[in-house]
Amino acid sequence: MKASVFQSGVLIATLTGAGFAQTTLHTTTTLVVVPTLVQTTGKEPVFSLTAADFLLTDNGVPQKVTLEEETRRPLSLVVLMQTGGIARGQFESYVNLETMLASLLGGAPNKVSIVNFDSRPEAASPFTANVAEWRDAIDHPDQGDSGAAIFDGISYALDLLKKEPVSNRRAILLISQERDSGSKTQMKDIVRDLGETNTAIYSVTFRRRRRRLNKRSRTPRI
């Protein structure tokens, strides 16, 4: 599996690989949100840094940096789990995901909603600070159809997050194959909504397993 993060500056380049390479979209923003985690060599988070400890440049030109105390703002997280298409052979990868989510959330006031999708998004679980309530549904999801409407799932998740308090941080954890299959939602609409809601997308992708062919040497007949 491969993990990545979609930010407003690289979202276009990342999503074009999902089947919309012919689309060109230009956006302008005066604010770029860069979630940052600094750790020691022992993997312990560092909280004593200030804005002066960071250098952010745009084409070599230093930019103004401000730090927000993100850990003090509640997090509303939607987990998008693909259950259709090639994901039907990946359910073993979902086991213990609940443990990871619980560690990520850290309890109230942070909360999470689980959404499964195949050719369309399924009904969302209520937002909760206790992800263990959905352990069985996460570890043993129902098998979906042959679709993988990733963009439709993201749009559905964004609609859920729009109903959350404006003061909350908003994020989507997408667990899916690499390419969209069957979505009606356009990439430009996703980019717009991400900017309007200030939502980050974290992506964990898996690839189709390839069958290994046994090559047998053959002795030519004379």
pLDDT digits (tens, 9 = 90+) for 28-66: 555 666 667 787 888 777 767 888 888 888 888 988 887
| pLDDT for residue 73 is more than 70 | yes
pLDDT digits (tens, 9 = 90+) for 92-151: 888 878 888 888 788 889 999 999 999 999 989 999 999 988 888 888 888 999 999 999
Topology at the third CATH level for domain 2-25+65-206: Rossmann fold (3.40.50)
Instruction: With CA atoms as reference, report the closest residue to 203 among 81, 93, 106, 109.
Output: 81
Instruction: With CA atoms as reference, report the closest residue to 209 among 100, 128, 88.
Output: 88
Return the CA Rg of the chain. Answer: 20
**∠ at Cα 102 (104, 106), nearest 5°?**
60
| Confidence grade of residue 222 (pLDDT, cut at 50, 70, 90) | very low
Strand partners, 121: 117
pLDDT digits (tens, 9 = 90+) for 112-124: 999 999 999 998 9
pLDDT digits (tens, 9 = 90+) for 149-166: 999 999 999 999 999 998
Tokens of 204: 């964990």
The domain locations on the chain are: 2-25+65-206
Q: What is the pLDDT of residue 70?
A: 53
- Whole-prediction pTM: 0.67
Q: Which residues are CB-contacts of 167 (< 8 A; sequence separation ≥ 6)?
A: 73, 74
Q: What is the mean pLDDT of residues 71-91?
A: 88
Residue whose tokens read 């604010």:
31
* Calpha distance 115→83 (Å, rounded): 10
Q: What is the pLDDT of residue 12?
A: 36
* Calpha distance 185→179 (Å, rounded): 14
Q: What is the mean pLDDT of residues 78-91?
A: 91
Q: Would strands 75-82 and 111-117 be described as parallel, antiparallel, or unpaired?
A: parallel
Alpha helices in 35-83 (DSSP H): none
Strand partners, 114: 79
